[in-house]
Structures are given as C-alpha cells and as structure tokens.
Amino acid sequence: MLRLSVVISVVFALCGCSHDRTVGAVASPALIVKISDFKFVPKSVEIKAGDTVEWDNTSILSWHTVTCDPAKAKKKEDVELPAGAQAFDSGRLNPGEKYRYTFWTPGTYRYFCIPHETLGMLGEVVVRPR
C-alpha cells in the first residue's frame, strides 16, 4: 500500500501537479487558506513553485469546492491557469474537510467555489519561481 502511494506521488510530480484530499492529520507543512462562510481567507496568497496550499473548510453548515478549471466556471474571468498548468478541483468538501494541492508551475491561479461562484467566492494563488 505504501508503495502505491509513492508511485502516485511520483506520477503527480512528473506531470507537474499534486493534490490530496485529507481529513485530520497533515503530512507536510502547507500554507493554510480557511474556507469560512462564503469566502477564502486569505483571498490571495503568494508561494514558490513546489509549495503546497491547504484549504480547510471551517464553515459550520456549507460544503464548498476549490476549483481551478475553466470548463467548470460560469464566468471565464473567475478562473485562470498559467500555460502548461493542469486544472484541478477538490470535489465537495464538507465542513471539517481539507484539500491540499502542490503547485509546480509558476504563474497566477484564480479559483472559485462551484456552488458559490456567483456570490463572489473567488481566490487566487500566485506562484513564483524557486
């Protein structure tokens, strides 16, 4: 089982992406973005290539998503990916759940929450080269 997780991690690293849906324990340090009510806090973060961001749904009643996929956006200006970067989507995050994504491609990533995009639930990750 451990070998399979290592293989999966290597495959994600080779394709320039990485994501993990977690509940509870966190394996490595990450910059934390809280999902609170209908906003991402902080709304914009700056990291270096290879760093991980973890979104923590601290809402009491609402589920949310962390979605950076132009095909899923209602408004194209609500999402942005650097050239060569892969789209990502956390799927449904219930209260108390977390989602982690490691950014390998420098540039600006604008993301949104699928059910709350029209309410302005948007965020941004700026990834600087190492």
CATH number, domain containing residue 115: 2.60.40.420
How many CB atoms are closer than 10 A to CB 68?
Answer: 25
Q: How far is CA 80 from CA 3, 63, 69, 71, 111, in A?
A: 34, 23, 8, 11, 7
Q: Tell me the residue range of the domain where 26 lies.
A: 2-128
Give per-residue pLDDT as tens, 54-75.
Answer: 999 999 999 999 999 999 999 9
Question: How does the average pLDDT of the chain come out, rounded?
Answer: 84
Short-list 127, 108, 101, CA closest to 12? 101
Express as a percent the part of the chain with pLDDT over 70.
Answer: 78
The edge-to-edge listing of strands for the beta sheet with 17-22 is 17-22, 98-103, 52-57, 31-36, 39-41
Residue 29 pLDDT level (bands cut at 50, 70, 90): confident
**Rounded distance between C-alpha atoms, residue 35 and residue 49, angstroms:** 23
Q: Give the chain's domain count.
A: 1
DSSP 3: H
**How high is the pLDDT of residue 34?**
98
DSSP 8-state assignment for residue 14: H
- The whole-model pTM stands at 0.79
Helix boundaries (H) for the chain: 2-15
Is residue 93 within 8 Å of residue 99, measured between CB atoms?
Answer: yes
